[in-house]
Amino acid sequence: MNIIQPDTYCWDPRYMEQPYSLAVERHGLLCISGLTAEVYDIHRDSYIVDSTSLVKQTKVIFEKMEAILSSAGYTFQDVVYTVDYAVEAAMPEYRASGDVRRQAFGNSMPASTGVLVDGIPDSAGLIMINAVAMQGGRDKRVVFPEGTPTWERYRDKTYWPGFFVGDDWFWLSGATGRVYNPDTKKEQYPYGITAQAEAIWNNTLGQVMKDALIKSSRSVRICNYVHPAGVADYPETHTLSREFVGNNAIATTSFAVHRLLHRDALLEIDATCYLGKDREVIDIPEWNIADSRLTSAVGVRCGKYLFCSAQGPVDHETGNIVGLGDLRKQAIQTYKNILKVLEAAGGSARDVVRTIEFTNPQNAHQWHILDQTRRDIIGRKLPAVTRITTNQLLQPKTAFGMEIWAILE
């Protein structure tokens, strides 16, 4: 595993002391940690954000990203996936920040998702962005959803709805559940999260797959971003997901965000499809998770790449939550679950290249506990890490959750 360490990284000369790696590269996949506009101020011996402008903060983030990509031998054109985690105060300038993305990505846009979260831990930044790049990413073959009456609007976006990389991979941007109204000739959001989930699989995300001639069952991972107003009815969407992905279980991560970029949206889903023949669903028979197996797998291995469903502090053999009120115990149990999945897939902690870690607001001040737990369990070669504060965890009584990607030898 190649830990990316730029020779010059002026924004943080102490970056190698951080409890994560700036980026990790292995077998042609580069994972970049969540980046904010914070810079180290030697006079104050602290990290500061120089500007309250989202556009200026986004420029700093993309300058950092360019230095990391260059150090790893990649360019912006190789980036296949980004996620923007912004706070509410970023919204007035969010659209304007798209010009920074246009300048960086040019004519090779990534798949992208943008959501509003409750907080960015230990940061005064308005936005955090992570990224994934892939060898051959510059040769994307874009698919626009021409089966949708409003498909041409994608040409003005700072992301592509879906594209192939090589023969095996198809990346999809986050999609919300809009329905086209032929009377108004506009798209609108139906009432309720279940109706919006159906619209995602039929009209937006699903339409991109149809136009790409890809069955939705070829999905290997999805992330569900749930509006707080949709949390109560969210379990009803699982049946719909099952209908669309068929018998091929997928790795699934779900958490509640502050809200989605469009105020009427209750759910957003992004996805990755794998078209290769060496797909393997990872299962752990002794875990008592029969119900969740109907909609997701604990992990899906695609050749050397492993996508794991999000884990939390649950003892899957008993179904009990571990460490109620104790974040350290909850983190340790979560890692135990992750390590079990890695072992079942033929890997170990040293193969983890990317984590998305989230806490509820009540524990947002305790990231030092999670940072130390990560060091204790994973060791010196740390993965790329994104840390966010969600509105709530969907598993009751849990304070911590984590999704990982691993690349095996």
Per domain, the residue ranges of the chain are 1-139
Give residue 294's pLDDT: 46
In this structure, are residues 330 and 400 in contact, taking their beta carbons and an 8 Å threshold? yes
Per-residue pLDDT at 282: 95
pLDDT for res 293: 44
- pLDDT reported for residue 246: 75
Backbone angles phi, psi at 390, to 5 degrees: -90, 170
Look at residue 241 in the predicted model and tell me its pLDDT: 83
Q: What are phi and psi of 160, to 5 degrees?
A: -105, 140
Report residue 291's pLDDT band, with 50, 70 and 90 as the boundaries: very low
Specify the pLDDT at position 244: 84
Q: What percentage of the chain has pLDDT greater than the value 70? A: 98
pLDDT tens digits, 96-129: 999 999 999 999 999 999 999 999 998 999 999 9
Q: Answer whether CATH 3.40.50.720 is correct for domain 1-139.
A: no
Q: Identify the CA nearest to 305 among candidates 126, 80, 59.
A: 80
Q: pLDDT digit string (tens) for 69-105?
A: 999 999 999 999 999 999 999 999 999 999 999 999 9
Q: Residue 400: what are its φ and ψ, rounded to 5°? A: -145, 140
Asked if residues 110 and 156 have their Cβ atoms less than 8 Å apart, the reply is no
pTM of the full structure: 0.96
Instruction: For the chain, give the secondary structure using H, E and C.
Output: CEECCCCCCCCCCCHHHCCCECEEEECCEEEEEEECCCEEECCCCEEECCCCCHHHHHHHHHHHHHHHHHHHCCCHHHEEEEEEEECHHHHHHHCCCHHHHHHHHCCCCCEEEEEECCECCCCCCCEEEEEEEECCHHHCEECCCCCCCCHHHHHHCCCCCEEEECCCEEEEEEEECCEEECCCCEEECCCCHHHHHHHHHHHHHHHHHHHCCCCHHHEEEEEEEECHHHCCCHHHHHHHHHHHHCCCCEEEEEEECCEECCCCCCEEEEEEEECCCCEEEECCCCCCCHHHHCCEECEEEECCEEEECCECCEECCCCEECCCCCHHHHHHHHHHHHHHHHHHCCCCHHHEEEEEEEECHHHCCCHHHHHHHHHHHHCCCCCEEEEEECCECCCCCCCEEEEEEEECC
Strand-strand pairing, 296-297 and 2-3: unpaired
Cβ atoms within 10 Å of 348's Cβ, excluding its own: 14
**Residue 223 reports pLDDT greater than 80:** yes
Q: What is the mean pLDDT of residues 391-405?
A: 94
Paired tokens of 332: 């340790």
In whole numbers, what is the pLDDT of the chain averaged over residues? 94
Contact between residue 154 and residue 117 where contact means Cβ atoms under 8 Å apart: no
Cα dihedral across residues 26, 356, 81, 340: positive or negative: positive
pLDDT digits over 334-380, tens only? 999 999 999 999 999 999 999 999 999 999 999 999 999 999 999 99
Per-residue pLDDT at 289: 64
Q: Is the pLDDT of residue 408 over 70?
A: yes
In this prediction, residues 128-139 reach a mean pLDDT of: 97
Q: What is the pLDDT of residue 243?
A: 84
Q: How far apart are CA 34 and CA 381, in angstroms?
A: 17
How does pLDDT run across 308-334, given as a tens digit for each residue? 999 999 999 999 999 999 999 999 999
